[in-house]
Structures are given as structure tokens and as C-alpha cells.
Amino acid sequence: MSKRHLLHFAFCLAFLSAHAIAATPENESGKEIYGPCAACHGDLGQGGKRGEYPRLAGQRAAYIEYTLKKFRSRERINIPMFPYTQERELPDADIKAVAAYLAGIELPTKMPEFKPSDDALARLKAMEKVLIIPKLEGDLANGKRLYQEECAYCHGVDGRGKTRFPMLVGQYTNYLQKQIAAYLKGERPHDKVADDEDEEDDKTKPKAVKLGVLNRLTEKDIQDILAYITRLQDE
Ligand code: HEC
Ligand code: HEC
């Protein structure tokens, strides 16, 4: 093992014990691949500029992989990320590793409780990881009903997503609003993918789930759903 590798290895060990992320080889290379991404998405994948750069920590690995491939093929347009997602920069193996790394980062939504023995640095480090999305105003009862009827089937009852359906809870509200606007303008496909593929013969799919769910909601409904999602992070 070269000196550089040894150093990297030692650093990863320190990092892994501090962050309690499963010590798989994928996560070690994933952290390295993530390096240049941190300039925009933050050291812990917490996002930046209040949601102009979305949170990636804790996002579903399958969704991150799928999305990076969409950026690379330019099916989903993302100008700032263009240089980072070209074939040479981001081969499939790297996409897999960085997705696994990001999916494994946990950012608590509550301030930690400290022991008197915790020093200032330990406190600072623990507090840096906390990510609390500001609450949004709205009719929470309406938001809850609509979310659970129209969105939970794909995005999960708890908003944490599943398989390739992205986590919505803990994501910046203005980023989610921007994506909804893009879906409504037809710039990004929303639930179509779900129907194209494996979901087709899913007998558990409730009848109420039809394609184009976002197009059937009023602006107020969307606001209420997003307000409810900002409450789900506490649960
Ligand atoms: C120059 C800034 C910048 C850099 C560097 C950057 N990104 Fe991004 N990224 C963005 C922006 C802006 C968006 C949101 C695009 C939009 O609004 O649709 C984004 C979106 C994403 C998304 C989609 C999130 C979602 O919920 O759909 C993923 C995944 C992602 N970036 C991963 C990465 C990875 C991995 C890297 C490093 C290889 C990286 N980004 C580097 C700016 C950046
Ligand atoms: C049939 C499955 C399905 C249902 C139901 C569904 N979604 Fe989605 N949603 C998806 C898929 C798939 C994506 C990723 C699409 C893509 O970018 O290709 C997505 C992405 C999103 C995103 C963007 C997330 C990100 O990180 O960029 C938002 C916001 C969203 N959905 C909101 C909603 C809301 C609100 C509802 C309920 C009114 C809803 N969705 C119902 C399948 C679904």
C-alpha cells in the first residue's frame, strides 16, 4: 500500500468512526469521489444556499444513481453540474460509490443532548450535522390527507422515499417547489417512470394513484402538502 493510500485509509477510519457509516470499500471511494461535489452540496451533503443546491445526505441511493445518469445523458438539464457529470468524470462505478456514500449520511433533525464531558469541538461537530428545514405555513390537515392519498404510495408514508422514489422530507422547500414547477412545465418527467417500468403490474397500487398527480392539484394544495412535509421531519 502506498503512503497516500495509507494516509487515506487512516483518514477514512477516523471519519467512519466519527460518523458511524458502515465501513464498506464503496463508501471509502464514494467519499473521495464526492470531494469536488462538496463545493456546492456541502461537506456533509447537507446542500447549500438555502436549497439552491439540494440536500443529498440520506437521499435514496437508487434515486441518486438514476439522477446522475439523467444528468450525464442530459435528459435532466443541470448546467452548474454539467462539467461534473461527463462520462470521463463520472463513470458508472463512481456513480454507484458516491450514491452509496451519500445515502449513508445521517443528518439529525434535533439538537443533540451533550454530556458534561463533551468538549467544545465535539459539540460543534455534532451541531454542524443537524439539518432542520424551516416549517412552512399551510393547512396541515389538508396537506396530510393529500400527501397520504396521492404521494405516499411512491414517496413513502414517512416521506423518506423508497427504491428509486426520492426522499422529500428533509429536503429544502424551495428546491422542492422549483422541481414541482419544472414538472408542471414538462421540463422533468415526474411519475411517468413509475408507470413505464416495474410498477405496471403492481396489484398493490391503489386505484387513486393515477399518472400526472401534480397536475391535478391546486397551488394551495401543493403549499399544504409541502407544509405537511416540513412537519414530517420531526416524526
Ligand atoms: C457547481 C455546483 C454543483 C456541483 C459542483 C455539483 N452539483 Fe449537484 N446539483 C447542483 C444544482 C444546482 C442542483 C439542482 C438542479 C436543479 O435545480 O434541478 C444539483 C442537483 C443534484 C442532484 C439531484 C438531487 C435531487 O434531489 O434530485 C444530485 C443527485 C447531485 N446534484 C449530485 C451531485 C454530485 C454527486 C456531484 C459531484 C460529482 C455534484 N452534484 C456536484 C449543483 C452542483
Ligand atoms: C407513481 C409514483 C409517484 C407519485 C404518486 C408521486 N411521485 Fe413524486 N416522484 C416520483 C418519481 C419517479 C420522481 C423522480 C422523477 C424523475 O426525476 O425522474 C419523483 C420526484 C418528485 C419530486 C422531486 C424530488 C427531487 O429530489 O428532485 C417532488 C418534489 C415530488 N416528486 C413531489 C410529489 C408530490 C407532492 C406527490 C403527491 C402529490 C408525488 N410526488 C407523488 C414518483 C411519484
User: Rounded CA gap, 199 and 214, in Å?
Assistant: 18
Q: Are 54 and 41 in contact (CB under 8 A)?
A: yes
3-state secondary structure of 27: helix
Last residue of a domain, one of 103, 132, 167: 103
Dihedrals phi, psi of 165, to nearest 5 degrees: -90, 120
Residue 89 has a pLDDT of 80
Which residues' Cβ are closer than 6 Å to ligand 1?
36-37, 39-41, 52-54, 56, 59, 64, 67-68, 78, 80-81, 84, 90, 98, 166, 178
- pTM to 2 decimals? 0.86
Q: Does any domain span residue 209?
A: yes
Name the H helices within the chain: 3-19, 25-34, 38-41, 61-72, 92-103, 120-128, 140-146, 152-155, 173-184, 192-196, 219-232
Q: Kindly state whether residues 11 and 91 are assigned to the same domain.
A: yes
Residue 86 has a pLDDT of 80
The residue range of the domain holding 197 is: 140-232
Ligand 1: residue whose CA is nearest its atom 11: 53
Give mean pLDDT in consecutive 10-residue pieces for the chain, a chain of 235 residues: 48 43 67 95 94 96 96 90 82 95 93 90 90 95 96 95 95 96 88 51 47 87 98 86
Q: How many domains does the chain have?
A: 2
> What residue type is 111 in one-letter code?
M
Ligand 1: residue whose CA is nearest its atom 12: 53
Distances (CA, A) of 123 to 98, 111, 112, 225: 27, 10, 8, 34
Q: Does any domain span residue 124?
A: no
